Structure 1
Amino acid sequence: MPYAVNGNISLHYEVRGEGETLILSSGLGGTSGYWQPQMEYLSRRFRVVTYDHAGSGKSSRSVGARTVSQFASDMLAVIRASGAEHAHVLGHAVGGITGLQLALDAPGVVRSLVMGNAWGEADPHIARCFSVRMKLLEDSGLDAYIEAQPLFLYPATWISEYDRELRAKAGRMPEHIPSSLDLSSRVEAFLKFAPPPGDLARLDVPVLCLATKDDMLVPWTCSQRLAQQLGNGIFKLLPWGGHGSSETAPEDFEAALEAFYQPIGESTSNDCPSHS
């Protein structure tokens, strides 16, 4: 199994497909399996790199408190270890924020960025939701946290329909979810994320701020506001699917990606080697 190394952190990653490199970065849970619904579609267009965040999955576990910039440097380490100098980035929630931080920290590395149900600055509703989730974790334990997680991620009707699959998934989650300390510390780090407006306005990387209208965890207006602040931001609102719309409404999610990537592919096809 290939690993990237960033300081004392080992990061498990996998590569699939050919073409320009696209790195996928999941949300708070941090494991690459989140992107399974998109792998067939994306690997037809890109050389797809998936990885487990520090503290998650097969990467180093119990890593302690880390900054957003450290998570971004992890992403850069994976890109370089995979053999690429730059990459397109597709991130969900904090995974999208990590990609944005990398674009700010390492100009030229990020060719394009999709931020699914993410934010540029956490608003009171996001802080309230994470406060409830962290209190569940601290006061009632990991089982209660896992039991409640779908309530924040998916529409009620979807939860009802896929209850059996969700319970099976929950049974496997303790094997790869970050420790309680790691979860609480990274929530704190990403809630504090608020890059200077001037830095966002100067960013010339194409950024798709993709939101879902019924997202229970992150109000869609956060994505809209971020797109307005970015120098090259595009806002797209999906009608249904909750916070995990890439799982619940994959066709709509992939259609939004296709509309974003098509002109980018046309503009980069002549200046990007096949492995980067």
Structure 2
Amino acid sequence: MGEHIRAGDLDIWTEQVGQGPYVLLIGGLGDTVESWRFQLDGLSDRYRLVAFDNRGAGRTAMPEAPVSVEAMADDAAGLLRALGVPSAHVAGFSAGSIIAQELVLRHPGLVRGLVLQSTWPAMDRYLRSWALFVRWLVEAAPSERAFLEGFFLDIYTPRAHNDGTVDRIIEDILAFPHKQSTGDVQRYIDAFVDHDTTDRLPQITVPSLVLAGGRDTTSRPPLCRAVAERIPGARFEVLEEEAHQPFQEVPDEWNARVDGFWREVAART
């Protein structure tokens, strides 16, 4: 069961499971604790996992203050401090990976090992155009279902669309009672479109694993590789047959990769 944790001026909806070294999970656009279900279930025998709803998503309110990646990184840092966690492994996907980058840059002492899934240093022209298309689509789509069906074409593999996985995900989202407003989706996208960590990534000194989906048409492998090349000593791996969210489509493989990486980090430290 989750609960609201007070971090600064924000009540952040948080779920914690398991025992062991702390892991903080940071979701992407509109994603909530539920997006990490396979990790909360599959890694809780080895780690103390903390997942949360970003500001303006799910059960965490969107403050009146301007939305920025820096503010969301500070939210994550505030949550760890409110929980009394001195440092944690951190994993973020998509926009959550950009928050994770900013978290380790702004609060380096809080991060032990970093996993970035489907990431980028700065949006290239293609990714920026896609993000602005999603910003338009969320308002122009005739229904929430129509928006999700269109949006997910770029998020999940054809395999997941054809075997019914995407249909099940859509039904779960439609039934979820804590909807993100159209305006909050757009404010969230606006915060990331021009965000750029390119020149600061070499300041990251924690062990880092960068994962890309070989079939991801948004944060494509070259963008992910560009992040890995700028972080000293970072490891770069491609899941060749996967798209934007392999942690949901092939969770056993994804969990094994990040578990192996975090075990190596623990052995080194």
TM-score (norm: length of structure 1): 0.89
Conserved 8 A contact 1:31-1:176: no
Equivalent of residue 169 in structure 2, options 152, 166, 191: 166
Q: Identity percentage over the alignment?
A: 25
1:73 alignment counterpart: 74
Deviation of the 1:176 alpha carbon? 3.0
3-state SS in 2 of match to 1:43: coil
2:141 alignment counterpart: 140
1:251 alignment counterpart: 252
After superposition, what is the alpha-carbon deviation per residue over 1:43-88, rounded to whole angstroms, capped at 9, x for unaligned? 1221111111111112124756411110001101111122212211
1:38 alignment counterpart: 39
Deviation of the 1:7 alpha carbon? 4.0
3-state SS in 1 of match to 2:104: helix
The within-5 A match list for 1:43-192 is 43-61=44-62, 65-140=66-141, 143=144, 144-162=146-164, 163-173=166-176, 175-192=177-194
Distance 1:130 1:26 in 2: 16
Deviation of the 1:170 alpha carbon? 3.6
Conserved 8 A contact 2:148-2:170: no
1:236 alignment counterpart: 237
CA 1:131–1:141 in 2, change beyond 3 Å: closer, same or farther? Answer: farther
3-state SS in 2 of match to 1:265: helix
Distance 2:170 2:201 in 1: 40
3-state SS in 1 of match to 2:12: strand
CA 1:10–1:63 in 2, change beyond 3 Å: closer, same or farther? Answer: farther
1:274 alignment counterpart: none
CA 1:15–1:232 in 2, change beyond 3 Å: closer, same or farther? Answer: same
2:27 alignment counterpart: 26
Conserved 8 A contact 1:55-1:63: no
Distance 2:24 2:188 in 1: 20
Deviation of the 1:119 alpha carbon? 1.1
CA 1:95–1:240 in 2, change beyond 3 Å: closer, same or farther? Answer: same
Distance 1:167 1:202 in 2: 39
The residue identity in structure 1 corresponding to 2:169 is L
After superposition, what is the alpha-carbon deviation per residue over 1:176-234, rounded to whole angstroms, capped at 9, x for unaligned? 3422111112212112121252x321321111111010012211111101100112321
Distance 1:203 1:55 in 2: 28
After superposition, what is the alpha-carbon deviation per residue over 1:103-149, rounded to whole angstroms, capped at 9, x for unaligned? 11112111111011111111122112112211112323552322322
Distance 1:62 1:152 in 2: 29
Could you list the runs of 4 or more consecutive aligned residues of structure 1 that deviate by over 3 angstroms after TM superposition?
A: 61-65
Give the number of aligned pairs: 266
CA 1:207–1:8 in 2, change beyond 3 Å: closer, same or farther? Answer: same
Farther-moved stretch of structure 1 (222-231 vs 40-49): 40-49
Distance 2:163 2:66 in 1: 37
Question: Gapped runs of 5+ residues in structure 1?
Answer: 269-276
Farther-moved stretch of structure 1 (247-256 vs 90-99): 247-256
Conserved 8 A contact 1:142-1:180: no
3-state SS in 1 of match to 2:119: coil
Distance 1:237 1:216 in 2: 13
Deviation of the 1:157 alpha carbon? 2.3
TM-score (norm: length of structure 2): 0.92
